[in-house]
A and B are shown apart, each in its own frame.
Chain A
């Protein structure tokens, strides 16, 4: 368990102020904030790599605020991996154990075990500069885990990766978290990443923690404009992916079901962009797989576009142009059909 009390950090141009966080043992904790919110420095401060102005850091019931970074037992993974370029993958993995003067057999065993866990066994003799981004990230993770840290801090681990590698890496992080029961603090600016991985999320905005809660709490009741805008423009739902008897992949939220395209399964999240939803008064006959009947619960005029909230009873935000809105001739309380393609739904 790690607890951060009233932490204040001077970032030069602004302050990280009164940061209070409590992360439970084995929790996957996300710090979500826009780019430039000081997330990396917050992590460095927790690890003892950046001087703090005031506050306390407690790790497993012991205060570590004044401890040097090498004595804290906090692992760190930077966004762009920072592997030791002069050492092989294997020597990167056992760097920490070697500093502690552990016996050779133990170093060998740990290196093999970690390489196996992250699926990088075939890379052990390679140099970091010959690895791909995803491979480097795995080695960086394995290296941080080599000294069995009490808490693992990961800084934007997915943002430097291409989309396909990113999905694999996301699974890898979840896997490590479950298998090692690791306590992880992960910072990101990516809302979907936060929702997909986090047991709980803290939203950092303008140097302060503005909200802490489960992913659902955060996107249902956002306390910050940053999150609100994201929720507004993505129609996020928590539910479960399952296969129907006739071979379709369905996403189920309570009593509502719609078709999706994904390889994933289990408890997940889905999002549909408001501009990808068609609104009509009569059911549409089209190739789009999903058509739901609902009631308009709010109409918000944004100038050239109109934002509608349609309750099916799930709340979908839909964007229509002013012209369409006039032609549709709809009003609050009226019944409409919303239609979207299975491929417009993003499952994560």
Chain B
């Protein structure tokens, strides 16, 4: 009997080892999140949520991240399609460039943006002349989020377009569709799952951005910055409920959109 159990275990050494290691990393993700969620009482969370500062910062975070995503869709999807359909010299370089915002420290990214979109540079001045300023303003939050999160959308959309058989587009052309009609009636609908998934990732990444936004625009205050300033100024007990709320919102949004995308994929 014991011999049998021993043999059963011995045959599955690899699976068991990997399962144990996997469990450690899963717990590493899971425990801090749930601990934070349950360390504030529901009434305290509710009270916190009703604070004007908290609710406006959460609202600001959600909609600036959404704005960044919309800008990402308009400017990123065409690029994704172009990259999926063309090969050219330097394509590898362009693809690497798109990934750069993911790997640079986001405070450095914020400084780079400040440099270009501040009023000391021609681009910043040009926008200033049409009434858009990027320092200490909502547009500043949007471009900071856009910069650090748009790679997720571009890469996902590109993979989506690559999966669309090019011959579907060719057939559409022989049936009388112009390149524009072909894009909107064939390529885009077939890649929409990937584009939607990428948008969700981009939005979520935008919501969680801290470093780049802090450099460009510490006020108006987005929720991640609010958590940080409360921690710095008043201590853990004041930061905790805001952090909990932020985690809850992100989880709800993320799980909700994920399952929505999953159901769509299945039909």
Contact = CB atoms under 8 A, between A and B. Distances in A.
Q: Do A and B come from one complex?
A: yes
B173 A70 contact: yes
A99 B165 contact: no
Given A78-B167, A84-B168, A144 B174 contact: yes
Interface string B148-177: 000000000000000001011011111111
Contacts of A74: 174
B189 interface: yes
Contacts of A86: 189-190
Interface residues of B, number: 17
B177 A70 contact: yes
Contacts of B174: 47, 49, 69-70, 72, 74-76, 144, 149
Nearest to B192: A86
Interface in B166-198: 167-168, 170-178, 181, 185-186, 189-190
Given A70-B178, A99-B181, A84 B186 contact: yes
Nearest to B178: A70
B173 A68 contact: yes
Contacts of B176: 70, 96, 99-100, 147
B170 A99 contact: no
Contacts of A49: 170, 173-174
Interface in A107-151: 143-144, 146-147, 149
Contact of A44 (B168, B170, B175, B177): B170
Contacts of A147: 175-176
A277 to B, nearest CB: 44
Nearest to A72: B174
A219 to B, nearest CB: 32
Interface string A79-104: 00010111000000001100110000
A69 B173 contact: yes
B167 A95 contact: no
A82 B167 contact: yes
A155 to B, nearest CB: 10
Contacts of B181: 99
B163 to A, nearest CB: 11
Given A99-B181, A99-B185, A82 B175 contact: no
Interface string A43-71: 01001110000000000000000001110
Contacts of A68: 173, 178
Contacts of A143: 171, 175
Contacts of A85: 168, 190
A96 B170 contact: no
B190 A82 contact: no
Nearest to A149: B174
Most buried by B among A96, A99, A100, A149: A99
Nearest to B190: A86
Nearest to B267: A127
Contacts of B189: 86
Interface in A318-348: none
B172 to A, nearest CB: 7
Most buried by A among B168, B172, B173: B173
Interface of B: 165, 167-168, 170-178, 181, 185-186, 189-190
Closest 3 CB pairs of A and B: A96-B175, A69-B173, A76-B174
17 contacts: A47-B170, A47-B174, A68-B173, A68-B178, A69-B173, A70-B176, A76-B170, A76-B171, A76-B174, A78-B171, A82-B168, A84-B171, A99-B172, A143-B175, A144-B174, A144-B175, A147-B176
